[in-house]
Amino acid sequence: MTTSEEFQVKAASPRPSQLRVAMLMALLVGIALSLGCANGEIRLGDPFDRQLTFEEAQHRYTVLMRWSKLQSAKNFVAKEKRAAFLKRMKALSEARFTGFETEEAELDDERQTATVRVIYTLYMPSSPYEVEIAERQVWSRNGLSNVWNVDSTFGSLNDVASN
Q: What is the pLDDT of residues 91-135, one digit of tens each?
A: 888 899 999 999 999 998 888 899 999 999 999 998 889 999 999
For 49, residues 6+ apart whose C-beta sits below 8 A from its C-beta are 38, 43
Q: What is the pLDDT, as a whole number, of residue 26?
A: 78
Whole-angstrom distance, CA of residue 119 vs CA of residue 103: 8
Show me where the domains of the chain are located. Answer: 3-38, 54-161
Q: What is the pLDDT, as a whole number, of residue 140?
A: 94
Q: What is the pLDDT, as a whole number, of residue 40?
A: 46
Convert the pLDDT of each residue in 1-57 to its tens digit: 555 555 555 555 556 677 787 787 777 777 766 655 444 445 555 555 557 888 999
Torsion of CA 17, 20, 25, 27, to 10 degrees: -170
pTM: 0.66
Class of domain 54-161 as given by CATH: alpha beta
Q: What is the pLDDT, as a whole number, of residue 2?
A: 57
Among 20-24, 145-149, 154-158, which stretch is predicted with the lowest mean pLDDT? Answer: 154-158
